[in-house]
Amino acid sequence: MTAPEGRGIAGRTDTFRILHVSTGNVCRSPITERLTRHALVDRLGDPLSGGLIVESAGTWGHEGAPMEANAEVVLADFGADHTGFVGRELLDEHVIRADLVLTATRDHRAQVISMGHSAGLRTFTLKEFTRLVRAIDPATLPDPRDEGVVERARALVRAAAALRGWLLAPTAEADEVYDPYGAPITFFRSIGDEINQALDPVVTALTGVRAPH
């Protein structure tokens, strides 16, 4: 049986695949996926040219479903594209292909890790990864202009994994992004702001490029 393309445990070297995971893949992970793509375009022009691929799935994913209408509104607020999104249930192949898995909550992280595929060292909650990334000196990472964004991204994940046991969350809730499903647009917008703020240092660390002002 041929391993699916991607790195994870499958060995591709020319791409770096980021997988965002939530429950239904209709609110939090679609917002995070599309905000990540939007931020990468701001910094790189075309993230695919740098080898970065961004996807999402849900542990109880609504296969084939569109994202929630309020999630679309949140993305529009940030100028991010919501079109063409289709919900997916999280499968083994998604985890196998992923170089970095960012989850909405600790429960999602535990579910991904329980699937196996050596996922433990490359699976974090989004806010956990943000906290770890802030503690990493960018000067210790490969220069993307010399070695490429993919090599820098891989080094960032290794550095974050090495820090995990030393830099703990101040509270159990600090690493959670709560589910806005069924909530009013005001709560969706607050979750969107939370996700966007968590993503900014992550995308900067991945690419070596700060957000344009």
Tens digit of pLDDT for each residue in 127-151? 999 999 999 999 999 999 899 999 9
Helix axis angle, 126-134 to 149-163, nearest 10°: 90
Tell me, what's the pLDDT at 169? 83
In this predicted structure, the answer to whether residue 4 has a pLDDT above a threshold of 50 is no
* Residue count of the chain: 213
Average pLDDT of every residue of the chain:
92
The pTM of the full predicted model, rounded to 2 decimals, is 0.92
Tell me, what's the pLDDT at 13? 64
> Which residues touch 107 (CB under 8 Å, ≥6 apart)?
none
Q: Hey, what's the torsion of the CAs at 111, 13, 157, 200, to 10 degrees?
A: -100
Strands 100-103 and 52-58: unpaired
Give phi and psi for 103, each to the nearest 5. -110, 160
Q: What are the structure tokens assigned to 144, written together?
A: 């993307």
> Which residues touch 110 (CB under 8 Å, ≥6 apart)?
none
Helix axis angle, 126-134 to 185-207, nearest 10°: 40
Tell me, what's the pLDDT at 144? 92
Higher pLDDT, 13 or 50: 50
| pLDDT > 70 fraction of the chain, expressed in percent and rounded | 92
Give 26-81 pLDDT, tens digit per residue: 999 999 999 999 999 999 988 666 799 999 999 998 899 999 999 999 999 999 99
* 26 neighbors 66 (Cβ within 8 angstroms): yes
HEC-encoded secondary structure of the chain: CCCCCCCCCCCCCCCEEEEEEECCCCCHHHHHHHHHHHHHHHHHCCHHHHCEEEEEEECCCCCCCCCCHHHHHHHHHCCCCCCCCCCCECCHHHHHHCCEEEECCHHHHHHHHHCCCCCHHHEEEHHHHHHHHHCCCHHHCCCHHHHCHHHHHHHHHHHHHHHCCCCCCCCHHHHCCCCCCCCCHHHHHHHHHHHHHHHHHHHHHHHCCCCCC
